[in-house]
Amino acid sequence: MTEFVTVEQLVNELELEVFSGNDYLDRKIYTADISRPGLELTGYFNYYPADRIQLFGKKETTFLERMSSDEKRIVMKKLCNDDTPVFVFSRGLTPTPELVEAAKEKGVTILTTKRSTSRISGLMSNFIDSKLAPRTSIHGVLVEIYGLGVLIQGDSGIGKSETGLELIKKGHRLVADDRVDVYQQDERTVIGEPAPILEHLMEIRGIGIIDVMNLFGASSVRKSVPVQLVVKLEHWTPDKQFDRLGGAEQTFRIADVDVPMISIPVKTGRNVAIIIEVAAMNFRAKSMGYNATEKFEDNLSKLIETNSEQ
């Protein structure tokens, strides 16, 4: 878990322009909450959230135009303190000289962007949230299949990495092998990404470590993907029962989110990669409202009804 994000990371990720304060880009941001200091411009500082990013939009800059230079200087000195991480001006608006002067005294960077205020606010919150969110490591292989994040799990040596490699050869993309770092983005979404030391790498027994991006190209990897389906590989035994019609609903809990899960038996002669590929396609079809199991049950009911009438 990362405790903070630097202003420099924010600039690089969102391609913001540094208006002033290049020497203070190492300043730390500890929260994803964004402050729009409208009340503060009127002089009300009782509940000023100084530790947040201070975002100026059209409303704030329009209000500043009505203030005298002395009034601006007083307010700006109060806005700039030791906890203020950064000021951001949206819509290509120009910071006032009084703020530039006060920010320079306190060592605070001022950034600008041409994006709308609501747009840049959402982008900054999402980026910082993703960096500060608690992370959990899960054993498995995470691949993107037809745009769907599929986490392949199973006992050690069952063939997860080999299956992932075959899926990559089919044109799908690797996100993480062996260790998948996951964090909860919201109440319904968990994001999976590789551990930094294992990014783009896979371990294949008998070969060793391979660099997937180097062998298959940049289009064969992804930096992160939402985990939307878990596929559990299990050794096939005659006494074990597996779902044959697809009606059983299983879930795998990651953080506070229940992710749909299916179990696939593994035995000699089964092409597991193709089965997982079809499972992903079938899952997408279900999410779009088409359920082959329900269609089969409907056909079966009609057949029974016809035979009963005869």
3-state SS, residue 263: strand
235 is catalytic: no
Which residues contribute to the annotated binding site for Mg(2+)? 161, 203
Biggest CA–CA distance in the chain, Å, is 95
Residues in the annotated binding site for ATP:
154-161
160 in active site: yes
Per the structure block, which two tokens stand in for 20? 């002033």
Q: Are strands 250-254 and 257-266 parallel, antiparallel or unpaired?
A: antiparallel
| Residue in this structure with the two tokens 């994000």, named with its chain if needed | 5
Active-site residue, selected from the candidate residues 70, 82, 244, 256: 244
- Asked if 139 is an active-site residue, the reply is yes
DSSP 221: B
Nearest to 43 by CA among 7, 67, 15: 67
Helix (H/G/I), strand (E/B), else coil: 265:
strand
Angle subtended by helix axes 97-106 and 69-79, to nearest 10: 30
Active-site option among 27, 131, 160, 172? 160
Read off the amino acid at residue 218. A
Choose the catalytic residue: 139, 253, 270, 295. Answer: 139
Annotated binding site: 154-161, 203
Catalytic entry in 172, 178, 181, 200 = 178
Torsional class of 153: left (φ above 0), alpha (ψ -120 to 50), beta (otherwise): beta
Looking up tokens 């006032």, which residue turns up?
Answer: 96
In which order are the strands placed within the sheet that holds 53-56?
17-20, 109-112, 86-89, 53-56, 34-35
Q: Can you give the length of the chain in residues?
A: 310
Is residue 172 among the annotated active site residues? no
Local structure of residue 53 (DSSP, 8 states): E
- 91: enclosing H helix or E strand: none
Catalytic positions, written as ranges: 139, 160, 178, 244
